[in-house]
Amino acid sequence: MLEPISQDLQPFNTLGLASFASRYVRLQSVGDLPALSRLVRQETQPVVVLGGGSNVVLPERLDALVIHVANQGCRVVHSASDHVLVQVQAGHGWHAFVLHAVAQGWHGLENLALIPGTVGAAPVQNIGAYGTEVARHVHSVVAWNFPDQRLHELQSDECGFGYRDSLFKRARPGDWLIVAVRFRLQTLWQPVLAYPDLQRHPLVANAGQALTADQVVQAVCDIRRAKLPDPAVLGNAGSFFKNPVVDTQQLHTLRQRYPDIVAYAQPEGRYKLAAGWLIDQAGWKGRRMGPVGVHDRQALVLVHHGGGNAAAVAALSRAIQEDIFRRFGVVLEQEPVNVTG
């Protein structure tokens, strides 16, 4: 049943890059973990864990054992007057779970609607959008550790969450396989509307106190669809760079030259700069470099027009990083993971 096969990964990465894995297995059930662990122990090639493929840059040839996490399902572990604890299998689609939660009256994830990928991948890069991050709603992460061949339940504060970061993202590739995520969701509806685009959306602006969770989901979906390309239509991996963080002095210097620079205050006198603004100012929006390019509505998103590979993506990414450093003295860190094997 867990017999590795060679596999075309193009349908399994949202950038839509051609990629061929030498050995590939699908994990459908937690019951297969011991067999999978035996396979990994005997493996001579690197191990790559693949979820929804929305935050990876895959090479044309992946000489690795690729484990595609595909276990589905969701169950309530515990319910109280003001919250529920829900366990969701890692291979479950993220957006499908957000819609399910809203329909059940479980709140907190509305602003994260329509993010591509799986539930298991959400904590890896601590997905975030429109004023919230998944870490705020993660109770714990159930993960298999290949080195010690045990299932662990890591509490939220043990996951090393940061901005688009966690211990799972920093760990050695193939060490951890997230099996399920437990969410603590509120049964009392309290919208999070700090993000200006959300406040301005007509559904939100006109609803006042009567604003529902469904309306916030709808507004978030509208905003995303207006700015971000649909991976089913145009290959992309969402934001390709993290928003860089600078100190007060550096912001002050930049503001003197660029009075319109977009910056958000962070704790301890730090500021997060809008990388999309920097890339846009540098004239990259809508530009193409062969088969890849910069999205024409959101400069933070690199897109794949077809026929490209990881090298083309890397060349564009590097060209943007070098240009932004030359112009603004700011280092852009890539968000998606470069997978090697």
Contact between 116 and ligand EPU by CB under 6 A: the answer reads: no
Query: Can you tell me the distance from the alpha carbon of 221 to that of 40, in angstroms, rounded to the nearest whole number?
Result: 39
Query: Can you tell me the distance from the alpha carbon of 239 to that of 62, in angstroms, rounded to the nearest whole number?
Result: 24
**Residue 335: active-site member:** yes
Ramachandran quadrant class, 174 (left: phi over 0; alpha: psi -120 to 50; beta: rest): left
Phi, psi of 277 (to 5 degrees): -65, -45
Phi, psi of 309 (to 5 degrees): -140, 180
Residue 225 C-beta: closest distance to ligand EPU, Å = 12
CB count within 10 Å of CB 314 equals 15
Q: Which is nearer to ligand EPU, 61 or 272 (CB)?
A: 272
When CB distances to ligand EPU are compared, the closest residue is: 238
Instruction: Tell me the per-residue interface mask from 177 to 216 with ligand EPU, x by CB under 6 A, - otherwise.
Output: ------------------x-x-------------------
Q: Which of 23, 26, 164, 224 is catalytic?
A: 164
Q: Which is nearer to ligand EPU, 87 or 239 (CB)?
A: 239
Contact between 287 and ligand EPU by CB under 6 A: the answer reads: no
**Residue 317: active-site member:** no
From edge to edge, which strands make up the β-sheet containing 245-247?
Answer: 245-247, 270-273, 263-266
CB count within 10 Å of CB 103 equals 10
Among 43, 175, 280, 323, contact with ligand EPU (rule: CB under 6 A): 280
Among positions 243-272, residues that touch ligand EPU (CB under 6 A) are: 243, 262
**Residue 79: active-site member:** no
Report which residue type is found at 170: R
Query: Can you tell me the distance from the alpha carbon of 106 to that of 8, in angstroms, rounded to the nearest whole number?
Result: 38
Contact predicate 111/216, CB 8 Å = yes
Q: Tokens 């760990």 sit at which residue?
A: 171
**Within 13 Å and on the Cβ side, how many CA atoms surround 153?**
7
Residue 299 C-beta: closest distance to ligand EPU, Å = 3
Among 276, 293, 308, 341, contact with ligand EPU (rule: CB under 6 A): 276
- Count of residues engaged in binding ligand EPU, rule: CB under 6 A: 19
Residue 212 C-beta: closest distance to ligand EPU, Å = 21
Q: Which is nearer to ligand EPU, 139 or 295 (CB)?
A: 295
Contact between 242 and ligand EPU by CB under 6 A: the answer reads: yes
What are the start-end ranges of the E strands in 156-227? 176-186
Q: Show which residues are catalytic.
A: 164, 239, 335
Binding site for ligand EPU (CB under 6 A): 129-130, 195, 197, 227, 238-239, 242-243, 262, 274, 276-277, 280, 285, 298-300, 335
